[in-house]
Structure 1
Amino acid sequence: MPVLVSDFDYLLPPELIAQHPLADRSATRMMHVRRYGGPEIDNLQFRSFPDLLSPDDLVVFNNTRVLPARLFGRRSGSRAQTLSPQNPASREFLTGRVEVLLTRQIQADPPVWQALVRPGRKLGVGEKIFFGEDAEHPELTAEILERGEFGERTLRFTGDFWGTVNRIGHIPLPPYIDRPDTAEDREQYQTIFARELGSVAAPTAGLHFTREILDRIAARGIETAELTLHVGLGTFQPLRHENVEENHLHLERYSISADAAEKLNRARREGRRIVAVGTTIVRTLEFAAQQSKEFGEQSGDANIFIYPGYEFRVVGGMLTNFHLPKSSLLMLVSAFAGTSRALRAYNHAVAERYRFFSYGDCMFIE
């Protein structure tokens, strides 16, 4: 029997979608889901997370940092089709507002990025997009090099790229957060261990951690490690084919340091549990384990698609937020917990009024 996208659906009242984070990150609720033995589901607070760990666990975090990846510019109109001069909206259309969401860096110098561009249908190869307040002297210019599907474009930038992006860019809050981003989101939508700039979305399971929680983990002698996966379209892209096996995910850049690789290899040799903080860590570890029997210092592009039937090679425990219906992330959770158990947990979360998605509550599956 094929695995169908529609098998991973659930009803979510819109009011359960968290629009803002809690003032205290660690005050979120946490569902404890057991795959083996004991009660299947417990309702806890995230502050209980360190107590659920074993002293010999290795807990792995994603240290990626979200960049202000949403830019608003204006099109040059240089490659646009000519509109009727009788149309008073012609000039505004040809040089109208353009929204660019940077999704993946391809080249550093000059900066070349993959991006989603809206409205993109009439923006062809060679068209330029200008950014900055001065219409005559833009601070940053993007030229479209290639067109892709569903509004994707490859852009080459000239000008002060990082300076302009950091100054005028917006934090790319997911579309289910129905409000404009604020100055506070620049820090609230980052984990406390965020260092490596490059994500277009936060690894949201890490948002619950505070210094006090990390100190409690350290006080128990529990080992931790960090690696990097820059979250891109692979996390959020819709699955366009009903048969799950026909879908493919975008590439996401990852790196594993020599120190992290040594910790991972030692934990595996000693038969210790590896706990992934977030689906980004699950994808990185499982992708890297497919490439070789042991971890090494490495970097590359991961596009692993994990759905029920997948055999996990590395991860023995997972902390994760609640994910959208019919999404690749819900399929990953279902692959780890079992589809029926995962959907029971999600329906329980709805009944118990958990807060969903990026700024919402979490679940620990072991």
Structure 2
Amino acid sequence: MMEKDNIRFSGSFLAGRHYRTGEPIALDIAGGIIVGCRSFAAADGAGKYGEETLPWIAPGLVDLQINGYAGMDLNVPDLSEEEVLALCDRLWAEGVTTFYPTIITGADESIQRGLEAIDRACRRLEREGRDTGMMHNIAGIHLEGPFISREDGPRGAHDRIFVRAPDCDSLEEWQQAAGGRIRILTLSPEWPESEAFIIRCADNGIVPAIGHTAATAGQIGLAAAAGARLSTHLGNGAHPVLPRHPHYIWDQLAEERLWASVIADGFHLPDAFLKVAHKVKGERLILVSDAVSLAGMPPGVYETPVGGNVTLTEQGRLHLTGQPALLAGSALPLAAGIGHMWSAGICSLGEAWDMASVRPSRLMNLPTSAGLTPGAPADIAIFALEQGKIRILETYKQGRLMYRHPDAG
């Protein structure tokens, strides 16, 4: 992590091309807050940067679903506090200023240990923050399972042995282990207990999400009425073949009370689906990485505890070795999804960035939903565009520089 008050160009403002308009702007920052947004000219003190060479400036990225990164796996049975801290530190380089570490279906004790490790890491970061002003980027925990579908296809890679019906007592125990940090819970509403469970979650500040489901239209409607607000990685975690209609993907697209998250890495979903989701969900479409531990690793063949022998290509596609048609998880950062949505012509760069920053913030009721407007936290990503891809140059959390790329100058 970088030293405090290393604000680009002057110590009091950050400059760049606005991610939505392309116009040169300067963000005035005080006390970790954006206090002003004004037009910017080279004469204002950009040093070697003229208006034409300014990098882009945007709100920091918010990832609602991340299982690991760069060899760090949040779902190992012996997850340590140090591994969680290392993951937090590594994600600054991807422009992620807020994320929700994701614990998936497993044995009760494994889930509990994972939640406890994340809680310990958060409490340590909070202590250090009070003493040194250090920042951290965990806003809460996403519990994905174990209350999902038992069926092959919708269940995905989740172990069927540990899948079970929603249980409020277990949730209460896990929330205690997590220090109250569980903020998103993905389940399938096909269980008879789902409706009461969703109400319980919503009443206790947890966003209920539908995912890994084979639910009927009626069950999805009841879940939304009970308080479900999100479809988790819609279009994935599904049967390989579905009836023409009806089916649970159409039903979730049509349910106006549900937001939808999608993995837009170019591998998990075809562009046609992303276009439809964009048109139907509008402001309620968000991007997630759903990254696994091999994300950010060099290309090669790896042995994993869940997928077995897997291959990571140079393009970032992770598949079962010898079976390239079968994906083995998501291996690209959130910014790659933004780049794909934009370069594929599905939406503008600015809208794609919003899908991964202000929109998830709005869903989770975070102050970063204000984006780059005065009064918002100075959670900011500085980036370059290179052949349709995004390269993060700097990341700031509440005005503090947390990452600088060696080529950032």
**TM category, shorter:** under 0.3
For normalisation by structure 2, the TM-score amounts to: 0.23
For normalisation by structure 1, the TM-score amounts to: 0.25
Larger Rg: 1
